[in-house]
Amino acid sequence: MPTISMSTNAAAEADRNAEVVPAVEPRAPWRVREIRVVEHGVLNVRFVDDTEGTLDMRALLNGDKVIGTVFEPLRDASRFAQAAIHLGTVEWPGDIDLAPDAMYDEIRAHGVWVVG
């Protein structure tokens, strides 16, 4: 009887699943579609419904309230620049993310969400 390697099966299974499951496209209007780092602590954000505005985290990142929080690593400009979108949410390495619905509400109402 032939021996089948588990790693071979696991890799084949992963490949098969990737082909079957289509990429998830967020459709809720408050999901983030695009971001651009403007400067350390500031992102331009565009949502699924084309609402655009600015996320300004400078007050938080430059203040003492950030010490000991999940956001403290973002004080490093190179870490902040690693902002990415995952399933319509702005995220950074280290399980750091922001609530897209709260960001959307503030940007829609004021054009900017100042976090601090």
Domains along the chain with CATH numbers: 32-114 (3.30.2020)
Q: Please state, rounded to an integer, the average pLDDT across all residues of the chain.
A: 85
Three-state secondary structure of the chain: CCCCCHHHHHHHHHHHHHHHCCCCCCCCCCCEEEEEEEECCEEEEEECCCCEEEEECHHHHHCHHHCCCCCHHHHCHHHHCCCEEECCEEEECCCEECCHHHHHHHHHHHCEEECC
Give the per-residue pLDDT at 20: 46
Across residues 71-86, what is the average pLDDT?
A: 97
pLDDT tens digit sequence for 19-43: 546 666 778 888 999 999 999 999 9
Percent with pLDDT over 90 in the chain: 72
Predicted confidence (pLDDT) per residue in 49-69, tens digit: 999 999 999 999 999 999 999
